[in-house]
Structure 1
Amino acid sequence: MQEASYPTVILGGGFAGLFTALHLSHQNYSHPIILIEQRDRFSFKPLLYELLSGELHSKQVYPRYKELLAGSSVTFVQDTVKSIHLHQRRVTIVSGKVFDYSNLVLALGGKTTYFNTPGAGEYAMPFTSGEEAIALRKHLRNRLHLALQTQEREHRRLLLTVAIIGAGPTGIELACTLADLLPIWYDELGGDANEIRVVLVNRSREILKGDVNSHLQKTAQRALKGRVIPVDLLFDAAVTKIHGDGVEYRQHDQTQVLQAGTIAWTAGTAPNPLLMELPISEERRDQRGRLVVTPTLQLLDFPEVFAAGDCATDSENPQPPTAQVAYQQGGAIAQNLQQIREGNPAIPVQIQMRGTLMKLGLNESVANLFNKVQIKGQPGHFIREATYLQLLPNSAHNRKVTTDWLTDELFQRDRPFSHMQLGQTPWLSGVATLVAGLLLATPLVWRAAQPRQFQQNLSWTGVPTLLDRLAPPSR
């Protein structure tokens, strides 16, 4: 078999890997495409909070790869990568199969790191996949049921306390979601919602420190305090040990313990351990161990290998490890693979940062468009979910999910909880629906008046495509 006819092998089915595969298939790429991923479902990470709360269904944000790849030219292999041999251009998986490749895409993602904290791996619950979101939901439900059956006050307080380790974007979004959601769940069971406690534990006094969302600190702080149950902030607390029923930490040179029946860990991720086994020198890695790539996302010493997402960094143009970056990298890698296949040079990747989106509670978000304009509350929630749903990795799946979601939003159909349960009146619920309608009507008017400008300015959001599906323009 000639090397040129070997397949392109993609390791990892996250945003970068999956979108590389789908773009190649859509481009009618002339060589076989093999996607290797250990899980059977794609986790749409920005919407895991909606999976946890029930705001969106598992089919919407936690679909099976086989469904997403149906009808494509991508061969999906569900297995775990055992070893990568760059010099031999070979990948071995746990089942024993070996794949020789002409091109390789490293998109293995990151792995939760506990910073060698004793007990964290055993007792803290990570929140990085659909499977983990569902596990956390089941655990929380169980704790609420146990609390109802517990007469002893201190033990009930423990069961109803949630400690979230890390005040980065995931920690803040999870804290805001649970501080709205858990009181509703507990109240429905007949419990006293005021007994719920959500505590955000952070090593420093600064939330979102060093994050791309750091300029949203004040907005996030107000949101944490404005939930159904205000989030307690435990700052300058260095976690030293995790127990089955609590968090041990050092604060102001004193060791203290926070009793908690649920401990969620959002304090950080590290590159996949497989990257450390590659024959790449320290000079070709950053301080975290990620692989340094060229502006075209190729390895410096192995140009047939591309790397993206949490696996790689371009030292000349570093990008934050966000979904929108990985999404764009997937499309760029596919384009460059096609360029190489046609005998053309690879093209430097241009990442367009379009702002950030953060979930700040049930039906509440902030959409920080182009880092200049903040749209908050329910309008921000509408923009956030519409934008993310438009990025779903299959056009047919995308169309159905987005249409179902918009119908649910506008008509409150099949909702897991009502706005009344959130303390709103029917009048406010009607206002919310009106706002959603205006948000839909305004771009329709703009599209009709200035179609070219509308397409150029909003194409990144997916709004033009969404409107074309829901309300096709007149011809």
Structure 2
Amino acid sequence: MPSKPFAAAPGDHAAFRPSEPSPEEAVHICILGGGFGGLYCALALHQRLGKASRVRITLVEPRDRFNFTPLLYELLTRELAPWEIAPAYRDLLKHTAVDLRQDWAEHIDLARQTVTLRQSGLLTYDYLVVALGSQMRPPATPGSQAHTLPFNTLHDAEQLERRLGELDHLPEVQVVVAGAGPSGVELACKLSDRLGRRGHVTVVDRRGEILRSYPARIQRAAARALAKRGVEVYLDAAIETVDANGLTFGYEGQTRHCQTDLMLWTVGTVPRSWLGENSLKPTAFGQCQVRPTLQLPDHDNVFVLGDMAAMPAPGRDRAPTTAQAAYQAGPAVAKNLLALIANRPLKPFIYNHLGDMLTLGQGEAVVCGFGLCITGRLGGLSRRWAYWLRLPTHTHRWRVLKHWLGFKR
């Protein structure tokens, strides 16, 4: 257990705001990962604590920019600029008491309450939040790692933009997207709109339907959007090999070869592994088992959230591994951390599914939730507005809104 807890009366937020203590006296919360779970947890802690507090917050994140991943696709059609969806952590945390460490966490020692950082060495903590997210599933298909591009980060989007620039001279561009999940469908629609008549986009998936885990009305809207753009879709198609010229896949009992100038790999992600020798038994999906409060079962002072954790969800075996789930979990963990420090009861995390949203081309989307399903341009506006409300800080939201309304930054 942490060595420096302090008591506070229920609801007594003033107990968190004495004169600024020395580092030795402060309770130290360390957050690993600056994605939707980790960053929003840090911001929620700061909002509740203020700058003068008996709690120190350290956020460990190797990247210099936050990636608002659901809006990455808008970079391809130049509907949004990189600064809008990938603000610098330094700017987001500039007026907070959060200490940003741009470093890689490499090892967690639960017994000694330490985290080993690649560049900075040992970091001790009283309370730990692990929100390292997920990573692209390593491609197992021969040649796929060498001849395909991923699409999950700002770096991936920049890499794809450079590749598209190299293809500008071609009168016709053959694009293949491996995977018909949400990322594959959104990429196919955006790239088709970006390339226009020059582009020929093909989607290949080994499963029998697109957007397999989504409601039927979203699947139908996506199928219409793909058909409208002339995107070819091969389902029940097992990719066998990938080379510099294209890919070979089995379809309807025959082997086919699809020539391509650009191939994108979107066959899913896997949770990041636990960083340590401690024997944490993962679930069948590779996630950490957590209590309803998102604490580790045998360590009250350690919280795991986001894609790494099998977070509870009403009516489901677990919460989905989405930005929506991590976005909700971050502030919930912040509240429980402060309750734990103040010796107050913790509350279980309850995931609330707010609906599904997918971009289906330039300016178009499908938004379904609360019994409604909006598509087309109105869906695009609804999706953009919903994500604007979820941008990390009031300051950044205001800058983005002014830009959308035509004011100078």
Is this a same-fold pair by TM over 0.5?
yes
**1:9-62 CA-partner distances (Å, limit 9, x unpaired):** 111111000000101111116311111111111110010011222101111101
Whichever residue aligns with residue 135 of structure 2, its letter is K
Q: Where does residue 218 of structure 1 map in the other structure?
A: 220
State the alpha-carbon separation in 2 of the partners of residues 396 and 338 from structure 1: 25
Q: Where does residue 164 of structure 2 map in the other structure?
A: 140
Indicate whether 1:173 and 2:186 are aligned: yes
**1:89-148 CA-partner distances (Å, limit 9, x unpaired):** 111111142111111111101110134222222221111111111211121121122x15
Whichever residue aligns with residue 265 of structure 2, its letter is W
8 Å CA contact 1:241–1:249 kept in 2: the answer is yes
Structure 1, 344-353 or 308-317: larger mean CA deviation: 308-317
- Across the two proteins, how many residue pairs are aligned to each other? 380
Equivalent residues in 2 for 1:71-82, closer than 5 Å:
71-82=95-106
**1:404-445 CA-partner distances (Å, limit 9, x unpaired):** 22x25xxxx99xxxxxxxxxxxxxxxxxxxxxxxxxxxxxxx
State the alpha-carbon separation in 2 of the partners of residues 98 and 257 from structure 1: 52
Look up the SS of the partner of 2:226 in the other structure.
helix
State the alpha-carbon separation in 2 of the partners of residues 215 and 96 from structure 1: 50
Question: Which structure dedicates a bigger proportion of its chain to helix?
Answer: 1
8 Å CA contact 1:390–1:402 kept in 2: the answer is no
How many Å apart are 1:213 and its aligned residue? 4.7
8 Å CA contact 1:165–1:202 kept in 2: the answer is yes
8 Å CA contact 2:108–2:275 kept in 1: the answer is no
**1:442-461 CA-partner distances (Å, limit 9, x unpaired):** xxxxxxxxxxxxxxxxxxxx
Q: Where does residue 465 of structure 1 map in the other structure?
A: none
How many Å apart are 1:278 and its aligned residue? 4.8
Indicate whether 1:308 and 2:301 are aligned: no
How many Å apart are 1:87 and its aligned residue? 2.0
Q: Where does residue 14 of structure 1 map in the other structure?
A: 35
Per chain length, whose mean CA-contact separation is higher, i.e. which structure has more relative contact order (CA < 8 Å, sep 6+)? 2
Which of 203, 208, 213 matches 1:205? 208
Q: Where does residue 46 of structure 2 map in the other structure?
A: 25
Moved over 6 A (4+): none
Q: Where does residue 346 of structure 1 map in the other structure?
A: 346
Look up the SS of the partner of 2:382 in the other structure.
helix
How many Å apart are 1:402 and its aligned residue? 2.3
CA shift in 2, pair 1:214/1:130, >3 Å: farther
Q: Where does residue 440 of structure 1 map in the other structure?
A: none
Equivalent residues in 2 for 1:69-108, closer than 5 Å:
69-108=93-132
Q: Where does residue 272 of structure 1 map in the other structure?
A: 272
Q: Where does residue 401 of structure 2 map in the other structure?
A: 402
Indicate whether 1:289 and 2:286 are aligned: yes
State the alpha-carbon separation in 2 of the partners of residues 119 and 213 from structure 1: 33
Which of 10, 35, 38 matches 2:62? 38
Q: Where does residue 21 of structure 2 map in the other structure?
A: none
TM-score, normalising length from structure 2?
Answer: 0.88
**1:362-396 CA-partner distances (Å, limit 9, x unpaired):** 011111122x1101111111110011011111111
8 Å CA contact 1:164–1:263 kept in 2: the answer is yes
State the alpha-carbon separation in 1 of the partners of residues 241 and 120 from structure 2: 38
8 Å CA contact 1:3–1:101 kept in 2: the answer is no
CA shift in 2, pair 1:276/1:242, >3 Å: farther
Indicate whether 1:325 and 2:338 are aligned: no
8 Å CA contact 2:107–2:275 kept in 1: the answer is no
Whichever residue aligns with residue 188 of structure 2, its letter is A
Look up the SS of the partner of 1:313 in the other structure.
coil
**Structure 2 unaligned residues grouped into runs of 5+:** 5-25
Equivalent residues in 2 for 1:253-272, closer than 5 Å:
253-272=253-272
8 Å CA contact 1:86–1:278 kept in 2: the answer is no
CA shift in 2, pair 1:132/1:388, >3 Å: same
State the alpha-carbon separation in 1 of the partners of residues 175 and 244 from structure 2: 12
Look up the SS of the partner of 1:50 in the other structure.
helix
Q: Where does residue 436 of structure 1 map in the other structure?
A: none
8 Å CA contact 2:105–2:116 kept in 1: the answer is yes
Q: Where does residue 388 of structure 2 map in the other structure?
A: 389
Q: Where does residue 442 of structure 1 map in the other structure?
A: none
8 Å CA contact 1:202–1:235 kept in 2: the answer is yes
Equivalent residues in 2 for 1:41-80, closer than 5 Å:
41-80=65-104
8 Å CA contact 1:170–1:266 kept in 2: the answer is yes
Whichever residue aligns with residue 164 of structure 2, its letter is L
Q: Where does residue 295 of structure 2 map in the other structure?
A: 298
How many Å apart are 1:316 and its aligned residue? 6.5
State the alpha-carbon separation in 2 of the partners of residues 237 and 56 from structure 1: 34
Look up the SS of the partner of 2:101 in the other structure.
strand
Q: Where does residue 422 of structure 1 map in the other structure?
A: none
Which of 163, 168, 174 matches 1:161? 174
Look up the SS of the partner of 1:135 in the other structure.
helix
CA shift in 2, pair 1:90/1:105, >3 Å: same
8 Å CA contact 2:313–2:319 kept in 1: the answer is no
8 Å CA contact 2:36–2:330 kept in 1: the answer is yes
Whichever residue aligns with residue 14 of structure 1, its letter is G
Equivalent residues in 2 for 1:350-389, closer than 5 Å:
350-370=350-370, 372-389=371-388
